[in-house]
């Protein structure tokens, strides 16, 4: 699929707003002591935010691993995003997978709180980067 630049920008904006809604859902789940689900939603918030940035480059990976790889290549290794974002992506992905599919794994209050804080920072920085990138594109 080949998108015009205007369509890429519209899709990027939609995705970053969706990421923020998902993060809000994660916070609500956390407040109701549903730590496993909160971590899951925190991970999906960073995944969706990552996809928002990538579409501006015409990159739309079909897998979670592809998103992680391309985010690293396009934004982290180039210094646009902090290097620690690669670790945040990896750790939240692993926690989300463990909480969804692992037997006898319970996400603690502290783990969920930490995941939410990292996801919020991630989404905030990606959102700022997205806005800056769109302005640099002349839109």
pLDDT tens digits along 62-73: 999 999 999 999
Task: Count up the domains in the chain and report the number.
Answer: 1
Tokens representing 9 are 């920008």
Kindly state the DSSP code that residue 60 receives in the 8-state scheme: -
Q: Helix or strand or coil: residue 59? A: coil
pTM: 0.95
Range of the domain at 62: 5-136
pLDDT digits (tens, 9 = 90+) for 86-101: 999 999 999 988 888 8
Tell me the CATH number at 15.
1.20.120.330
Rounded CA-CA distance 98/120 in Å is 20
């Amino acid at each position: 699929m080949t998108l015009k630049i205007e369509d890429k920008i519209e899709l990027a904006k939609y995705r970053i707003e969706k990421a923020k809604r998902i993060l809000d859902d994660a916070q609500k789940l956390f407040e109701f002591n549903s730590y496993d689900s909160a971590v899951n939603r925190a991970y999906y918030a960073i995944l969706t935010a990552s996809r928002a940035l990538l579409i501006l480059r015409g990159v739309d990976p079909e897998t979670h691993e592809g998103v992680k790889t391309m985010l690293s290549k396009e934004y982290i290794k180039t210094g646009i995003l902090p290097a620690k974002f690669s670790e945040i992506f990896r750790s939240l992905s692993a926690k989300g997978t463990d909480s969804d599919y692992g037997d006898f794994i319970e996400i603690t209050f502290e783990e969920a709180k930490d995941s939410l804080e990292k996801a919020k920072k991630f989404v905030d920085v990606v959102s700022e980067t997205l806005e800056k990138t769109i302005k640099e594109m002349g839109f």
